[in-house]
Structure 1
Amino acid sequence: MSWETSDRRARLPRDWPVRRQRVLRAASYRCQIKAHGIPCGEPAAEVDHIERGDDHSYENLQAICRWHHARKTAAEAAAARKPRPTQRREPERHPGLA
């Protein structure tokens, strides 16, 4: 989903710039995503919601690098999509194999 067609920005709290800066500062501008229990640690300039939705509490926000943010967002979008129906028919049993 692109920002042009999204209402996400309008749903952010008025103090979002302040919250964003506090989260980034608290994380020392380092990515908080953990891989095998170890934080990524790459430079972070983005703030992400840990759990999807409109919970903008500090407990639900984390500093995240661009690479991890793109992958997390893509995974969440893929999980939210409805599976496409398959076009394949079930194979018919051979009439001679009754």
Structure 2
Amino acid sequence: MSGQWADSTRRDELPDDWYTVIRPYVLHRDEHRCRWREGRIVCGHHANQVDHIVPGNDHRYENLQALCAHHHAVKSSREGNAARWRETVRRPPERHPGLI
């Protein structure tokens, strides 16, 4: 496996019917159009990916949206960076070697 899924266990967390029912339903509902919003402008390009609006394991249809590959990557990157930032903020600062 390559790309964003290489070290991820995310696929294991998806419901059994993700690829057969949920994902096709959301893409059809959203007419295979990217729902990414920048202010009042909606992308509208061809969407082939389904995204959780609020990250996590809420797989209800109202928490899912169709996105194009570009905007799904942008959103995932922002969420990953935010998670890494939260981790680094929690670490206590290192002591200066000259003060030890």
Same fold per superposition (TM over 0.5): yes
Residue type of the alignment partner of 1:33: W
1:15-54 Cα deviation digits (max 9, x unpaired): 1011100000011100001112121100000000000100
CA distance in 2, matches of 1:36, 1:43: 19
**2:84 counterpart of 1:75:** no
Could you tell me which of 61, 65, 78 is aligned with 1:62? 65
Aligned residues: 88
Runs of 5+ unmatched residues, structure 1 = 90-98
Residue type of the alignment partner of 2:49: E
Larger radius of gyration: 1
The 1:2/1:68 distance shift into structure 2, 3 A limit, reads: closer
Q: Alignment identity in percent?
A: 45
Classify the secondary structure of the residue corresponding to 2:6.
helix
CA distance in 1, matches of 2:6, 2:41: 35
Aligned 1:17-36 pairs, distance under 5 A:
17=19, 18-36=21-39
Classify the secondary structure of the residue corresponding to 1:73.
helix
Hey, what does 1:48 align to over in structure 2? Answer: 51
Runs of 5+ unmatched residues, structure 2 = none
Residue type of the alignment partner of 2:14: L
Structure (1/2) with the larger helix percentage: 2
CA distance in 2, matches of 1:35, 1:3: 26
**TM-score, structure 2 as length reference:** 0.78
